[in-house]
Amino acid sequence: MPELPEVETVRRGLAPAMVGARFSRVTLRRPNLRFPFPERFAARLEGRTVTGLARRAKYLTATLDSGETLIMHLGMSGRFDVALPDGSNLSPGDFYLEGAQGTPKHDHVVMAMSTGATVTYNDARRFGFMDLVPSRDLEACRHFARMGVEPLDGLTGAVIAGLFRHKITPLKAALLDQRLIAGLGNIYVCEALHRARLHPETPAGSLARPDGRPTPKANALAKAIVQVLEAAVKAGGSTLRDYAHTDGSAGAFQHAFRVYDRVGLACSRPGCGGAISRIVQANRSTFLCATCQPAG
C-alpha cells in the first residue's frame, strides 16, 4: 500500500492540475470502489472549485468552495492519471517491482477540469475509495477522528514516549498503529528502525522512562522516522508494484533501502559486518540487521 511519501508525491503531482480548477464534468464508471460513492457524488463535485489539496496520513483531501472536502484514498493499487490540454500525460506513481501500468478497464472515476486537464482515477483492485464530508467536520469524520499525529509535523522523542508509555506491544506494531502515528507503513518503519538501531520486537513502552520522559532510543527513533520520510519524499517515494507519480516516473527511494527486501545482503552500516534477515510479525515481513539491531 502506498505510504506517506508516495501519497505526498501524488499530492504534489495533482496540485497543478486541480488546485484553482473547477470540476466541469465527473463521470463514475461503476457505483462503488471499496465502498459505494456518496449520494449524488458527481453532482456535488460538478461546478465546484478545488481551493486546496492536502494530505492527511495516507489520504488526499481536496477542499471545495462548496464547504465540502473530497477525501481520496489510493488503497493498494489506486493511481491517478492526468491528461493535459497539450496532449501530454502525467501519472503520479509506479511501485518498486516494476508494476503494471493502469489499463483503461480500471478507469473508474474521470474528472474533467475547467483548465482542460482530465484527472482519471484507476484502481485494479478497487481497495481505494472517495468520500465527501463537510469541511468543518473533517477532523471529526470517521476517517480521521481516531487518527494519530503526523510524523512530519514536529515528531520528537517526547511525543513518542508519550504515545508509547506503558505499551507492551512490539515496537513495529506500535509504529504501524495509525491511531498513534499516522501515515507510517511497513517499508518506512523497517527503514527507520534500522537507522535507529532498534529491534522491531522491542516493547514499545521501553522507549519511555518511568516518569514519562523519552529515552535516548525514543529520541533516536523520532529522528530516524523524520529523516527517512523526508528523504523518501525528496526522492519521490519508493516504486513498489502499483504506485506511480503523476509525471509517469518511478520513485527512487527504493535505491536507498537499507533493509527492506534485502534478505541475505550485507548490512550497509559501515563496520557492521552483519546481513539482512527477515522475520514475520502479525503475518507481515519485517526486515532487519540482527547485528546492529540486537534484541533485548
Marked catalytic residue, from 2, 5, 170, 200: 2
Residue 267 exposure: Cα atoms within 13 Å on the Cβ side: 21
* First-to-last C-alpha distance (Å) of the chain: 30
State the catalytic residue, choosing from 58, 79, 167, 262: 58
Catalytic (active site) residue 3: yes
**Rg, C-alpha atoms of the chain:** 20
Could you give the CA distance from residue 88 to residue 76 in angstroms, rounded to a whole number? 26
> Are the C-beta atoms of residues 129 and 35 closer than 8 Å to each other?
yes
151 is annotated as an active-site residue? no
For the chain, the helix, strand and coil percentages under 3-state DSSP, each to the nearest 5? 30, 30, 45
30 within 8 A of 123, measured Cβ to Cβ = no
| Catalytic annotation, pick one of 3, 6, 8, 191 | 3
| Alpha carbon distance 207, 240 (integer Å) | 31
- The H or E element that residue 4 is part of is helix 4-18
513518542: which residue's cell?
A: 160
Q: Reply yes or no on whether 2 is catalytic.
A: yes
Q: Which residues pair with 133 in a beta bridge?
A: 69
8 Å CB contact between 129 and 75: yes
- CA angle 3–32–27, rounded 5-degree value: 95
Q: Which residues are known catalytic residues?
A: 2-3, 58, 284
